């Protein structure tokens, strides 16, 4: 059914049992009753691309850091002329975003500053990105170096002898503060180039549409994508390992089962096995710093800590190789297609227009590697280390009696965790029991129940009245908030059996739907099925070789999900709004990645 506006958050109550969810999040990040009229005057869209399920109190920190850091580069670093940052509010366990336009009278001055500042980065892009890699690696190493040591029974004698004069709680608290500070720095780095990258994409897209009013976004995107970026390395490494295993005739060692350790031991006993094991070890650093999730959730599984995941994919690839299937990405074909398409578009332009086109395409291609690769270095690698450190801290607190399960820490916000540490340090220093469980047991139990309840209610794709204009580059290029997507969410172009979204990756296929809501369900996917999810992750790439298409709720033409599908030659429709909550597993679908439509045929 078609509507004119989206519901107000003030009309959307919490599911039963979660009425008190606001107590889990900071005061400045929820819709307040005393600010209702100003909040309702803004359009908010749900970011279910990065946060497809409710986030726990500690995980809310990443939402906050990410959105804040996105904003700073628009507002305070580069002065993107029409756009400041993006406001964020939590509601019913999800986050909603609202771009902030820059005041019109500030724009001329912002243009001046932007030309200087963005000009510097565009003009020195590759050198600055090289330096960025160095900074990010150093940040990762600093995080790896953090130690959370249990508080000892007594202060070390060496400290007495050296006259140190502080106790062990000082480094413990400092380590926690340092971990949070390094995570904060990680997110600062995440956006250092990203806003400019999306601005360059937007510039190229808009130029193409001015030259060719009806040109498809998909055609424009095909001209920009590179084919060999670090984001695909983890999957490429698995494929290499699979090929090596087949070459060394080790296939049967993999399929005998028994878990990771048993399998690796078995491989070691075979001729050629040692060589394969060396390759397996070498691939892990850094390419197994890769999560099946997206890096924003504490329980996202990382390949380096769950070797059964990458090993399982290697086994899948070995089976497919032995069946004679081509498992590599169609790199040569994609590259040839990119060049063909680019040349044909160039043929339709001449003179000044052609020179301008070449310049803008060149810039878009220059920024592309960073825009894709930062995802690996930040969301996968850096956040992987961070979550591991937090679990180490949680283990210390578990061993000190504060909870039974390492995962319990994440039901507290970052400031609450500091209070728990303070409780622990006070008790240790004073020699009396902490308050600890007395406070935490009922609190955590209640929050677990609220989180379970929040997960039962999928979020609305947007809130309040759609805006008249959008100027903020991410909103357009990454989240794909356009007339078409908003219209689709409002029910335009959709019948009972038809969904409209963005034509993210070409191809027309039919198949049975497999709806999954988290990476844990990936093993349920059967060959030839059509994967339907709130969003897909680059690390799902090993599964892409066996499915027919993907359908997602959100995602613009230059989102990772869209780019990865194009690079893998997999038809995709993104930005449907609510495919993952309206389509059911087993339904027969027809997905048209050229037109951006999904039809339910039967079931």
Partner 1 sequence: MALAHTVSFAAASAEDEADLGGKCASLARMVRGGAPVPPGFAVTTRAWHEMLAANGLGASVAEALRELAPGDVAAHDGAARRIAAAFAATPLPPAVAKAVTAAYRSLCEAEGAHDDLPVAVRSSATAEDLPDASFAGQQDTFLWVVGSAAVLARLRDCWASLYSARAIGYRADRGIAHLDVAMAVGVQKMVNARTAGVAMTLDPCNGDRSRIAIDASWGLGEAVVSGEVTPDHFVVDKVLRQVVSRTISDKAVEVVAEPGARRTVRRDVPPQRRRAPCLSDRQVVAVAAMARQLERAFGAPQDVEWAIEACPADPDGRLMLLQCRPETVWSRRAAAQSAAPGLNGLVANLLTPVRIQV
Sequence-distant contacts of 401-407: CB under 8 A, at least 24 apart: 401/434, 401/436, 401/437, 402/434, 402/436, 402/437, 402/440, 403/437, 403/440, 403/444, 407/298, 407/299
For the chain, how far is it from start to end, CA to CA, in angstroms? 21
Contacts of 8 (CB under 8 A, 6+ apart): 40, 463, 464
Q: Examine residue 118 and tell whether it contacts partner 1 (CB under 8 A).
A: yes
Residues 221, 295: Cα–Cα separation, whole Å:
26
Q: What is the DSSP string of 286-350?
A: HHT--BSS-SSSTT--BTTT-THHHHHHHHHHHHHHHTT---S--HHHHHHHHHHHHHHHHHT--
Smallest distance, partner 1 to C-beta of residue 345, A? 6
Instruction: Assess 362 for contact with partner 1 (CB under 8 A).
Output: no
Residue 211 or 521: which CB sits closer to partner 1?
211
Closest to partner 1 by CB, 341 or 395: 341
Stretch that binds partner 1, among 28-36, 207-215, 273-281, 434-442 (CB under 8 A): 207-215
- The smaller minimum CB distance to partner 1, of residues 134 and 469, is found at 469
List the one residue from 113, 466, 518, 585 that touches partner 1 (CB under 8 A). 466
Buried b or exposed e, range 169-180, using 16+ CB within 10 angstroms: beebeebbebbb
Does 476 help bind partner 1 (rule: CB under 8 A)? yes
CB of 466 to partner 1, least distance (A): 5
Q: Minimum Å distance from CB 529 to partner 1?
A: 25
105 is an interface residue for partner 1 by CB under 8 A: no
- Indicate which single residue of 308, 487, 509, 546 sits in contact with partner 1 (rule: CB under 8 A): 487
Query: How distant, in Å, are the alpha carbons of 82, 189, 193, 234, 364 from that of 199?
Result: 11, 17, 10, 28, 9
By CB under 8 A, is residue 94 in contact with partner 1?
no
Segment (H or E) for 185: helix 169-190
Site string for partner 1, 220-259 (x = CB under 8 A): --x-------------------------------------
* DSSP string computed for 75-136: IIIS--TTEEEEEEEEETTEEEEEEEEPPGGGHHHHHHHHHHHHHHHHHTHHHHHHHHHHHH
Binding residues for partner 1, total number by CB under 8 A? 58
Under the binding rule (CB under 8 A), the answer on residue 69 touching partner 1 is: no
Asked whether the beta carbons of 150 and 396 are under 8 A apart, the reply is yes
Among 56-64, 114-122, 168-176, 533-541, which window interacts with partner 1 (CB under 8 A)? 114-122
- Interface residue with partner 1 among 8, 169, 471, 581 (CB under 8 A) is 471
Stretch that binds partner 1, among 345-353, 391-399, 405-413, 425-433 (CB under 8 A): 345-353
The nearest distance, CB 487 to partner 1, in angstroms, is: 5
Query: Which part of the chain contacts partner 1 (CB under 8 A), choosing from 10-18, 63-71, 74-82, 518-526?
Result: 74-82
Binding string, 491-520, against partner 1, x = CB under 8 A?
-x-------------x--------------
Write down the least CB distance from residue 352 to partner 1, Å. 5
Is-contact 530 547, C-beta < 8 A? yes
Could you give the CA distance from residue 51 to residue 28 in angstroms, rounded to a whole number? 19
User: Which tokens in the block code for residue 547?
Assistant: 């499915």
Counting contacts by CB under 8 A, is residue 100 touching partner 1?
no
Residues 6 or more apart from 19 whose CB is under 8 A from it? 13
Residues interacting with partner 1, by CB under 8 A?
Answer: 4, 80-83, 107, 111, 114-115, 118-119, 122, 199-200, 202-203, 206-207, 210-216, 218-219, 222, 341, 344-345, 347-348, 351-353, 355-356, 359-360, 363, 466-471, 473, 476, 482-483, 486-487, 490, 492, 506, 594-595
């Amino acid at each position: 059914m078609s509507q004119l506006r989206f519901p107000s958050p003030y009309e959307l109550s919490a599911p039963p049992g979660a009425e008190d969810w606001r107590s889990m999040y900071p005061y400045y990040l929820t819709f307040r009753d005393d600010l209702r009229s100003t909040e309702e005057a803004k359009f908010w869209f749900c970011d279910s691309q990065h946060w497809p399920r409710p986030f726990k109190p500690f995980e809310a920190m990443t939402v906050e850091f990410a959105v804040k850091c996105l904003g700073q580069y628009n507002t305070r670093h580069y002065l993107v002329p029409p756009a400041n940052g993006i406001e964020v509010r939590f509601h019913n366990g999800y986050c909603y975003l609202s771009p902030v336009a820059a005041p019109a009278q500030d724009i001329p001055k912002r243009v001046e500053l932007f030309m200087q500042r963005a000009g510097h980065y565009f003009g020195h892009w590759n050198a600055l990105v090289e330096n960025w890699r160095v900074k990010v690696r150093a940040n990762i190493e600093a995080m790896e170096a953090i130690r959370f040591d249990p508080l000892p029974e007594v202060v070390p004698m060496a400290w007495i002898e050296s006259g140190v004069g502080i106790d062990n709680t000082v480094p413990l608290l400092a380590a926690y503060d340092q971990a949070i500070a390094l995570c904060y720095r990680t997110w600062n780095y995440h956006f250092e180039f990203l806003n400019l990258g999306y601005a360059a994409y937007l510039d190229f897209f808009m130029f193409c549409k001015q030259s060719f009013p009806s040109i498809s976004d998909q055609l424009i995107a095909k001209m920009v994508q590179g084919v060999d970026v670090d984001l695909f390395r983890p999957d490429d490494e698995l494929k290499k390992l699979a090929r090596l295993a087949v070459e060394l005739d080790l296939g049967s060692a993999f399929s005998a089962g028994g878990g990771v350790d048993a399998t690796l031991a078995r491989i070691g006993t075979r001729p050629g096995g040692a060589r394969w094991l060396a390759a397996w070890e070498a691939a892990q650093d850094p390419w197994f710093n890769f999560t099946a999730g997206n890096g924003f959730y504490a329980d996202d599984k990382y390949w380096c800590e769950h070797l059964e995941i990458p090993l399982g994919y290697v086994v899948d690839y070995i089976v497919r190789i032995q069946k004679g299937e081509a498992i590599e990405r169609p790199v040569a074909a994609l590259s040839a297609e990119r060049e063909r398409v680019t040349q044909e578009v160039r043929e339709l332009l001449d003179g000044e227009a052609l020179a301008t086109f070449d310049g803008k395409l060149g810039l878009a291609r220059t920024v592309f590697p960073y825009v894709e690769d930062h995802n690996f270095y930040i969301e996968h690698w850096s956040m992987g280390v961070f979550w591991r450190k937090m679990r180490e801290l949680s283990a210390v607190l578990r061993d000190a009696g504060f909870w039974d399960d390492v995962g319990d820490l994440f039901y507290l916000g970052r400031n609450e965790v500091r209070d728990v540490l303070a409780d622990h340090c006070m008790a240790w220093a004073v020699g009396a029991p902490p308050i600890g469980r007395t406070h935490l047991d009922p609190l955590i139990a209640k929050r677990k129940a609220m989180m379970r309840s929040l997960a039962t209610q999928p979020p609305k794709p947007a809130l309040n009245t759609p805006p008249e204009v959008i100027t903020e580059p991410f909103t357009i290029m990454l989240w794909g908030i356009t007339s078409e997507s908003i219209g689709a969410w409002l029910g335009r172009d959709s019948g009972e059996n038809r969904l409209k979204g963005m034509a993210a990756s070409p191809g027309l296929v039919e198949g049975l739907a497999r709806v999954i809501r988290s990476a844990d369900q990936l093993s349920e996917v059967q060959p030839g099925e059509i994967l339907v999810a709130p969003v897909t992750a680059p690390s799902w790439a090993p599964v892409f070789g066996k499915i027919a298409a993907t359908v997602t709720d959100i995602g613009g033409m230059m989102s990772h999900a869209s780019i990865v599908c194009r690079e893998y030659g997999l038809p995709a429709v993104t930005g449907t709004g609510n495919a993952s909550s309206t389509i059911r597993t087993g339904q027969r679908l027809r997905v048209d990645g050229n037109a951006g439509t999904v039809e339910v045929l039967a079931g």
